[in-house]
Amino acid sequence: MTPITQLHPNGEAPPAERLPDSQPLYRQLADHYRRAIGSGVLRPGDRMPSMRAFMQRHGVSLATATESYRVLERDALIDARPRAGYFVRVPPAAGLPAAAEPDLAVPPGAAQFVGIHSVISSIVSTFQRYPDALNLGGATASPDLYPTEALQKAALRALRRRPTLLTAAGHDQGDPELRAVIARRALDAGIHIGADDLIMTHGGIEAVNLALRAVTQPGDTVAVESPCFFGLLQALESLGLRALEIPASPSTGLAIDALAFALQTHPDIKAVVAVPNLQNPLGTVMPDAHKARLVELCAQAGVALIEDDPYRELADAAQPPKSLKAWDTDGTVIHCTSFNKTLAPGMRVGWINGGRWHPRIGMLKFAQSRHNEQLSQVVLGEFLATNAYERHLRRLRDRLRIQRERMAAAIATSFPDGTRFTPPGGGMFFWIGLPRGTSSAALFEAALKEGIRIMPGTVFSNSGRFDHFIRLSCPSTDMDLADEAVRKLGRLAGRIAM
C-alpha cells in the first residue's frame, strides 16, 4: 500500500504527521482523514471518496475501507447520505446564541378565549396567492422522504386481496389487525395496552379534538405550552375553550413548576395538553424526570393530561424517547398520535388511547365521524407488520438530520445579530427568535414576495409574545435551494430588524 504519510485526502500533498504503526490500518486511515477535516483541508459538506476510490487509492480491502468510515461516522465527522455516498459532516451551528429560556418569575396571566382563527385565515389566504413559493412553513417532509413506492405497492396488494375494502363498512374502533400491530409497537414508547384500548381516528388532530371534548365543557380552561402548535389553539377556539399558556423551555419543554402554580391558582383547569417529544415549534424532547413529574402532577390534581405525540419517532437518539403515557398508572393520560408526520401525510390515520375517558371518547368518535376508511388502515397494518417501517424511519431520521445540519449552518451564518435559536435533536422544525421588535408578520410577507413561505410566530400563541419568532421547517430535499432561501431570509430579517 501507499504509505499514509504520502497521502493527501485528495491524493496530492502528504499530511504533516506520521501515525504510530501500532494502530490497526483502518484506524490509521480514519485518523488521516480526521486531521484533514480538522485542518480544513476537507470542508463541511465535501464529498468523501467513494468506497471503490478509497480502496484503490489506499490499496486496502473493502472491510478496511468500511471500518475506517464507520469510525469517522461514529465520531460524527462524516455522514452517509443514502444513495449519494459519504460527506464531511456539517457541524452544529455556531455563531448564534442558544434560544432564550422563558422568564418563569412572571405568573401566568388569565386564561383567555382563543382568537387565532382570523390570524391563521389571513396567513393562509396570503400564501395561497403564492402557490409556487418554496415551502419552509409546513409541518411534513417532502413526499420523496416518505416510502411512496412501498405504500403504493402495499395498497395495490391490499386492494387485490380484499376487493370489498371500498364497499364494505369497517369496524367501529378501526381495523382489528392494525390495532393489534399498533398495540405491539406501543411497547417501544413504554405503553402497555391491548388492541381494544385504542380507537383509530382521522389523523392525530381528530384524536386531540375528541380528547378535549371528552374532558371539557365550553368555557373551561385548558393549560397549553407556550409557544404551542397553532392547530391546538384552533381546536380550543372552535370548542369554545379558554387557553392558559404555560411557558415552555427550549431545553426541557413545559415548565412543570409554572404548571404546578397554575393548577393551584386556576381551579377551573380541566386538562393539560403537552407535546413531550420534539415539541412543535420548539423541537424539545422533555427529559424523563420531567415527564414523570408532569404525569404525577396531573394525576394528583385530577386533571386530564392530553399527550399529543406525533413526532416521537423522529428524535435522533439511540433509544427513541418514551411517551408520557409510559408513566401513567391511573388513566390520567390520554395518548394521541398519528402516522402523518412519520410515514404518510396523505393518509389520515391517527389513534387514541383515552385513559379513564376511553368509553366516552369511543362514543364521541362514533357520533362524530364513525369508523375510519378501511383501505388505508389495511395498507398501514401490512406495512407496520414487517420491518419496513423501522428501515424507513432510520432513513428518514438520517435525511432530516443532514438537512437540519445544513440549514442550521445557513441560519447561523446569515441571520442578523440578536437572533437566537437551538438546533433541535430531531424532527424538522427550527424555532428562531429574531432580534426583539422584528415583525415576523412583515418577514412572512416579504419572504413570500421572494418566493419563500415561512410560518410567523404570531400563530403559536394567543398572547402576541412570539411575534418576533418564526418557525422554519426543512422539508425540501433540494438543500441548495433551501440554503439559498435561508440566506435570503436572513438578509430580509436583517433589513426588517433595523
Binding site for a second copy (CB under 8 A): 117, 121, 140, 143, 146-149, 151-152, 155-156, 159-160, 163-170, 201-203, 205-206, 209, 213, 217-218, 231, 234-235, 237-238, 240, 344-348, 363-364, 366-376, 379
Strand, coil or helix: what is 10?
A: coil
Please, which residue, 370 or 495, has the CB nearer to a second copy?
A: 370
Please, which residue, 267 or 366, has the CB nearer to a second copy?
A: 366
Please, which residue, 37 or 151, has the CB nearer to a second copy?
A: 151
Please, which residue, 208 or 274, has the CB nearer to a second copy?
A: 208
CA distance 475 to 428: 7
Please, which residue, 376 or 414, has the CB nearer to a second copy?
A: 376
Q: How far is the CB of 374 from a second copy (least distance, A)?
A: 5
User: How would you classify residue 278: left for phi > 0, otherwise alpha for psi between -120 and 50, otherwise beta?
Assistant: left
Count how many residues are written for the chain.
498
Spatial contact of 250 and 431, defined as CB atoms under 8 Å apart: yes
Q: How far is the CB of 165 from a second copy (least distance, A)?
A: 6
Q: Which of 487, 489, 481, 494 is nearest to 454 (CA)?
A: 489
One DSSP character per residue, 97-128 reads PPPPPP-TTSPP---EE---HHHHHHHHHHHT
Q: Which of 220, 309, 310, 229 is nearest to 271 (CA)?
A: 220
One DSSP character per residue, 187-237 reads GGGT----GGG-EEEEHHHHHHHHHHHHH--TT-EEEEEES--HHHHHHHH
Q: How far is the CB of 343 from a second copy (least distance, A)?
A: 8
What is the grid cell recorded at 243? 387557553
CA 281, 423, 228 angle in degrees (round to 5)?
Answer: 10
CA distance 388 to 376: 16
CA distance 229 to 218: 20
Q: How far is the CB of 447 from a second copy (least distance, A)?
A: 21
Q: How far is the CB of 234 from a second copy (least distance, A)?
A: 4
Q: How far is the CB of 201 from a second copy (least distance, A)?
A: 8
Please, which residue, 255 or 349, has the CB nearer to a second copy?
A: 349
Q: How far is the CB of 123 from a second copy (least distance, A)?
A: 13
Please, which residue, 262 or 306, has the CB nearer to a second copy?
A: 306
Q: How far is the CB of 272 from a second copy (least distance, A)?
A: 19
CA distance 228 to 489: 23
Please, which residue, 121 or 386, has the CB nearer to a second copy?
A: 121
Q: Which residue has the cell 394525576?
A: 299
Please, which residue, 152 or 264, has the CB nearer to a second copy?
A: 152
Q: How far is the CB of 325 from a second copy (least distance, A)?
A: 22
Q: How far is the CB of 58 from a second copy (least distance, A)?
A: 41
Q: How far is the CB of 467 from a second copy (least distance, A)?
A: 22
Please, which residue, 271 or 285, has the CB nearer to a second copy?
A: 271
CA distance 120 to 320: 33
One DSSP character per residue, 367-389 reads HHH-SPPHHHHHHHHHHHHSSHH
Please, which residue, 226 or 376, has the CB nearer to a second copy?
A: 376
The number of angstroms, rounded, from the C-alpha of 308 to the middle of its chain's C-alpha atoms is 12
Please, which residue, 251 or 477, has the CB nearer to a second copy?
A: 477
One DSSP character per residue, 276-296 reads -SS-TTT-PPPPHHHHHHHHH
CA torsion 126-141-213-335 (nearest 10°) is -160
Q: How far is the CB of 342 from a second copy (least distance, A)?
A: 11
What is the grid cell recorded at 420? 437566537
Q: Which of 215, 183, 159 is nearest to 384 (CA)?
A: 183
Q: How far is the CB of 485 from a second copy (least distance, A)?
A: 20
Spatial contact of 249 and 268, defined as CB atoms under 8 Å apart: no
Please, which residue, 39 or 369, has the CB nearer to a second copy?
A: 369
Strand, coil or helix: what is 20?
A: coil
| All residues at 6 or more sequence positions from 179 whose CB lies less than 8 Å from its CB, including other chains | 173, 195, 196, 198, 200, 351
Spatial contact of 329 and 300, defined as CB atoms under 8 Å apart: no
